[in-house]
Structure 1
Amino acid sequence: MSQVKNNKDAYALILEAIDGGLYRPGDRLVESELAERFGVSRTPIREALQRLETQSLLTRDGRSLIVASLDHNQMSELYAVRTELEGLAARLAARHATEEEVQVLRDMVVEDRALLADPSALSRANRRFHTMIHKASHNRFLVQQLDLVHRSMALMATTSLAAEGRGEDALAEHQAIVDAIARRDEDAAYKALRDHISVAFVTRLKLDAGN
């Protein structure tokens, strides 16, 4: 196992591992194995696991801690919150984004077309795109709340971008969001991003239903 830099704490390392799919919903997390993997002592690992359990990213299975998963109701609740917060971020981005931030968003849409054949890479790019909109809102408290929401998104076993044709549609929706932000049309940006999240939710529900 490779050692990690000391400037990353155990909490961030485990969180990144869950977010990156190294640990999936239902996987058991063991203190000793995590300590070896990340090259840190067991005490910070234990504290990190307790923190993640408090945040409901981990849950108990007997005496073991496993990566939590979301049931239908929890997923619906998460998407309800995400839809409103993302829409607000787009509205504020249309109001506050710098020209440079708008250009970065434009470039992301173009560059992400090269990833259409790779749902996992496209999912990571999708996260970067949304994070850029969050930052362009220039509202630190909104960014913090959206960060919590996106951490919980890691508890979903699949990405909606894995559905056939969804990647192409998602990028078209991204383009509409960027166009509205560039026009400084707050209402259109809000609606475009809300609609984008709504379609993603419907797609995810269909995937989970096996359709």
Structure 2
Amino acid sequence: MKEPRPAQKDAYSLILEAIDLGLYKPGDRLVESELADRFGVSRTPVREALQRLETQSMLTRDGRSLMVASLDHNQLAELYVVRSELEGLAARLAARHATEEEVRVLRAMVEEDRALLDAPTALARANRRFHKQIHLASHNRYLVQQLDLVHRSMALLASTSLAAEGRGERALAEHDAIVRAIEARDGDAAYAALRTHISQAFETRLKLDAGARRAS
């Protein structure tokens, strides 16, 4: 009996993943033919994927060209407000509904991620996995769907706040506090700890953006 092949990703997923990984950054132009060659797919699904991403505000049009969108200050602030509330709710629900196995996975993630403190890009990927695990541990499919939309928009940020000096270590300490609250089944503490974590990340990003403006 043949083992089933892993499902191939469609053009939309491939382009979205490339943006999320930083292969395409805000302001980069996306050319249909180049994307088709890169991902080994025909131009028709690429064209459809680009149209879909444009309607979702992931791409913006400059004349006839499509570029990866960027977030202005107000959009960034609005995104973090929504993210803070939804992520906090996910942590609260995870404290109530996560299985013991899910809690142990969260604890293991915190411990394993300490080895990535000198690798901001890898730590950023690990950070996304950690947050996704909390979303799933909430056991609320509608909340998970909304958080997927929020994190898709987070891909429009040109850099990770974890690259700031000392931020990685502080972020892991914040992750530890979140998991300790979930382990204690304390929904209020988990909500507060995750909101504090998002607030600190937002503050770090604002400082990075201010520094970039001064340097330009």
| Pairwise CA RMSD | 1.0
Instruction: Name the residue aligned to 2:122.
Output: 121
Q: In the TM superposition, what whole-angstrom CA distance separates every residue of 1:126-166 from its partner, at most 9, and x where no partner exists? A: 00000000000000110011011001001011111011111
SS of equivalent residue, structure 2 residue 25: coil
Instruction: Name the residue aligned to 2:44.
Output: 43
Superposition map of 1:186-201 within 5 A:
186-201=187-202
The reply to whether residue 28 of structure 1 matches residue 29 of structure 2 is: yes
Instruction: Name the residue aligned to 1:174.
Output: 175
The residue identity in structure 1 corresponding to 2:200 is: V
Distance 2:142 2:47 in 1: 28
The reply to whether residue 61 of structure 1 matches residue 62 of structure 2 is: yes
Distance 1:62 1:80 in 2: 32
The residue identity in structure 2 corresponding to 1:197 is: I
Q: In the TM superposition, what whole-angstrom CA distance separates every residue of 1:42-72 from its partner, at most 9, and x where no partner exists? A: 1110000000000000000111000000000
Instruction: Name the residue aligned to 1:184.
Output: 185
The reply to whether residue 148 of structure 1 matches residue 153 of structure 2 is: no
The residue identity in structure 2 corresponding to 1:145 is: Q
Distance 2:192 2:100 in 1: 21
Could you state the TM-score of these two structures normalised by the residue count of structure 2?
0.94
Instruction: Name the residue aligned to 1:102.
Output: 103
Distance 1:180 1:63 in 2: 50
Distance 1:133 1:6 in 2: 25
Shift of 1:6: 7.2
Alignment gaps of 5+ in structure 1? none
Q: In the TM superposition, what whole-angstrom CA distance separates every residue of 1:76-104 from its partner, at most 9, and x where no partner exists? A: 00000000000000000000000000000
Alignment gaps of 5+ in structure 2? 1-5
The reply to whether residue 86 of structure 1 matches residue 73 of structure 2 is: no
Which consecutive aligned stretches of 4+ in structure 1 deviate over 2 angstroms post-superposition? none
Distance 1:14 1:56 in 2: 14
Instruction: Name the residue aligned to 2:3.
Output: none
Instruction: Name the residue aligned to 1:132.
Output: 133
- Between the aligned residues of both structures, percent identity stands at 82
Distance 1:70 1:116 in 2: 27
The residue identity in structure 2 corresponding to 1:68 is: A
Could you state the TM-score of these two structures normalised by the residue count of structure 1?
0.96
Distance 1:153 1:71 in 2: 12
SS of equivalent residue, structure 1 residue 174: helix
Number of residue pairs aligned between Structure 1 and Structure 2: 207
Instruction: Name the residue aligned to 2:158.
Output: 157
